[in-house]
A and B are shown apart, each in its own frame.
Chain A
Amino acid sequence: MRKTRVHWLYLAPALFFLTMYLIYPSIRTIILSFYGPRSLNFVGFHNYITAFTSPSMLVAFRNNLLWVLVFTFFNVGLGLVLAVLLDRVRYEVLVKSIVFLPMAISYVAAGVIWKFMYAYRPAYAAQIGLLNAIVVALGGKPIGWLIERPWINNLALIAVGVWVWTGFCTVVISAAYKGIPKEMLEAARIDGANEWQVFWRITIPYLKSTLAMVTTTMIVFVLKVFDIVYIMTNGAYDTEVIANRMYKEMFLYQNYGLASAIAVVLFVLIVPFSLINIRRFRAQEAVR
């Protein structure tokens, strides 16, 4: 490597963007979070108190927690199961592509697709949503999937997220799974271990860091979840999430102080997981 000053030429455009679009605005947002709706008067921690006590925010916190638990569990779990099972069949690539496809389309489109799946009509009318058609065919009453609070509608939204992200988890975990030396698995089987033992004693320990990485990635995404909720319910019937609340405070109510405080809360929630990612990056850097 050579020592010059020319590096600034290469870095300048990036530094401009990073400063103007991320660093400066982030700091500014933190400052604004201590000011009133129009950023004119200093209000101390008032916005934060509102952010942690207002009923709509409490619902949002509860729902984001539900998202973190259910969404992450099902995505990582399904991804792991699919990665292991798909390795045993010849049509692996085909199923992987099918499951991965939702990653390519927008959450808005995914939301419309599932809104149609969840479509609700009264019992006397013909059902046009597949899920309610199945429910009715089985002798049940049509269900308001996006209306029944608090569990059905939130879980219905989370299901859409799982539908979108399972492909990602499957592909990432599968890539790591293929890295397990085949001799290791074979040796264990020859020694009399059954598939269950192989899975828990070899596969899981071997995949530990990948699973941890996928989990943190899922949590970071899910804390920010916005589009799916915005498009499908816009937070109605107790389906509010933090990011949608922030958007509403910013655009609908133009309360920049509270919106900023919510954004800061979101950021603080994400930081621990981001630190894990950075540490892993540094560790990798040290190896090199």
Chain B
Amino acid sequence: MRWRERLSRLPLHLFLLTVALVWLIPTLGLFVSSFRPKQDLYSSGWWTLITHPSQARFTLENYRRVLLREGMGRAFLNSFIITVPTTILTLGVAALAAYALAWMEFRGRQLLLVLVVGLIVVPLQLSLIPILRIYQTLGLNGTFLGVWLAHTGFGLPFMIYLLRNFFAALPSELFESAFIDGASHFTAFTRLLLPLSVPVLASAAVFQFLWVWNDLLVALVFLGGYEQVAPLPLKLALLVGSRGQDWHLLTAAAFVSMIVPMGVFLSLQRYFVRGILAGALKG
């Protein structure tokens, strides 16, 4: 009986194993390939490391080359310079607005809320051209400041929405008793709300960080012609354009661009998933 039960579950396990492999192998193949010498990469597939392990050779040359000579090192730095201030700015502005939308009473609040939700789904494309032109006039194209502000603007609706949903779900007695005790909104915001919201703020931060880190379109439009300030995805895209067949470089470069998001994902998975679920499920 027990055996028959196990046997009947075999297709289930096989299916899930197949899914896991299909999702894992492409990334694994890229990772393994990035350590193979150039000649090997072109003369045999990466899987020969498994079929003929004795012939396997590894090198760090590809990484040395993309980081130092192809500009991925600089791009890595740029990605941090772009992503960290953007995340802080977006979260700060969004938290203030979300607090007002959740715990302050004023005319037009409902309308403002609907506007925010409506703006979530306005495609980036609809704003790009006028902003590009304003940036041309102001000289903001190719600057970090321009990208910080643009990412903040584009990320805000979802951020406000995510935070407001959490803030509004906090028990109202908390705030009422604080206000009765004479607390100002500023006190309620900094002393009561923010400490209670650490989990959602962490989720929001992880979400925005990865979003901006992985962005291509905004970087392409506002930093497109300026390689010195290009973040990783843009730099990687440029490499694909200029060195489309140089797999020893592309594999290493792609992996360089993936290290931080994969690290964030694996170490802060809970917050990452929560951030995404909140945005989706609460919708």
Is residue A1 contacting chain B, with contact meaning CB distance below 8 A? yes
CB-CB under 8 A for A32 and B104, given A21-B150, A116-B33, A274-B118: no
Q: Are A246 and B125 in contact (CB under 8 A)?
A: yes
Q: Are A128 and B44 in contact (CB under 8 A)?
A: yes
Q: Helix, strand, loop or mixed for chain A's interface? A: helix
CB-CB under 8 A for A130 and B25, given A11-B96, A250-B128: yes
Interface string of B212-250 (1 = CB under 8 A from A): 011111001100100000001100110010000001001
Q: Which residue on B lies nearest to A166, using beta carbons? A: B23
Q: Which residue on B lies nearest to A27, using beta carbons? A: B130
Chain B min CB distance to A272 (Å): 10
Pick the residue among A22, A82, A259 that contacts B19 (CB under 8 A): A82
Is residue B117 contacting chain A, with contact meaning CB distance below 8 A? yes
Q: Are A108 and B236 in contact (CB under 8 A)?
A: yes
Is residue B30 contacting chain A, with contact meaning CB distance below 8 A? yes
Q: Which residue on A lies nearest to B253, using beta carbons? A: A112
Apart from A21-B150, A281-B114: 10 A-B pairs, beta carbons within 8 A: A7-B100, A18-B156, A25-B128, A26-B126, A104-B262, A107-B233, A163-B26, A172-B276, A214-B280, A277-B120
Pick the residue among A14, A109, A263, A264 that contacts B233 (CB under 8 A): A109
Is residue A243 contacting chain B, with contact meaning CB distance below 8 A? yes
Q: Are B119 and A104 in contact (CB under 8 A)?
A: no
Is residue B251 contacting chain A, with contact meaning CB distance below 8 A? yes
Q: Are B127 and A116 in contact (CB under 8 A)?
A: no
Q: Are B131 and A107 in contact (CB under 8 A)?
A: no
Q: Are A22 and B105 in contact (CB under 8 A)?
A: no
Complex Cα spacing A18 to B264, Å: 29
Complex Cα spacing A256 to B189, Å: 44
Q: Are B129 and A128 in contact (CB under 8 A)?
A: no
Q: Which of the 9-residue segments A41-49, A55-63, A200-208, A222-230 touches chain B?
A: A222-230
Pick the residue among B13, B104, B123 that contacts A10 (CB under 8 A): B104
Q: Are B123 and A224 in contact (CB under 8 A)?
A: yes
Complex Cα spacing A44 to B19, Å: 52
Chosen A-B contacts, 24 in total, with CB atoms closer than 8 Å, are A7-B106, A14-B160, A18-B116, A21-B131, A21-B149, A25-B128, A91-B16, A101-B27, A102-B27, A104-B262, A106-B233, A109-B254, A109-B257, A112-B30, A115-B250, A127-B45, A128-B44, A130-B45, A133-B45, A163-B26, A168-B280, A251-B220, A277-B121, A281-B117
Complex Cα spacing A112 to B33, Å: 12
Pick the residue among A15, A22, A282 that contacts B154 (CB under 8 A): A22
Q: Are B104 and A18 in contact (CB under 8 A)?
A: no
Central interface residue in A21, A133, A163, by most chain B CB within 10 Å: A21
Q: Are A108 and B216 in contact (CB under 8 A)?
A: yes
Q: Helix, strand, loop or mixed for chain B's interface? A: helix
Q: Are B276 and A171 in contact (CB under 8 A)?
A: yes
Q: Are A29 and B185 in contact (CB under 8 A)?
A: no
Central interface residue in A17, A133, A217, A280, by most chain B CB within 10 Å: A17
Is residue B68 contacting chain A, with contact meaning CB distance below 8 A? no
Q: Which of A242-261 contact B (CB under 8 A)?
A: 243, 246-247, 250-251, 256, 259-260
Q: Which of A1-27 contact B (CB under 8 A)?
A: 1-7, 10-11, 13-15, 17-18, 20-26
Q: Are B277 and A171 in contact (CB under 8 A)?
A: yes
**Which residues on A sit within 8 Å (CB–CB) of B247?**
116, 119, 128
**Which residues on A sit within 8 Å (CB–CB) of B130?**
24-25, 28-29, 32
Is residue A100 contacting chain B, with contact meaning CB distance below 8 A? yes
Central interface residue in B92, B127, B262, B265, by most chain A CB within 10 Å: B127
Pick the residue among B24, B104, B240 that contacts A231 (CB under 8 A): B240
Pick the residue among B12, B116, B120, B254 that contacts A112 (CB under 8 A): B254
Q: Are B45 and A18 in contact (CB under 8 A)?
A: no
Is residue A117 contacting chain B, with contact meaning CB distance below 8 A? yes
Q: Are B131 and A213 in contact (CB under 8 A)?
A: no
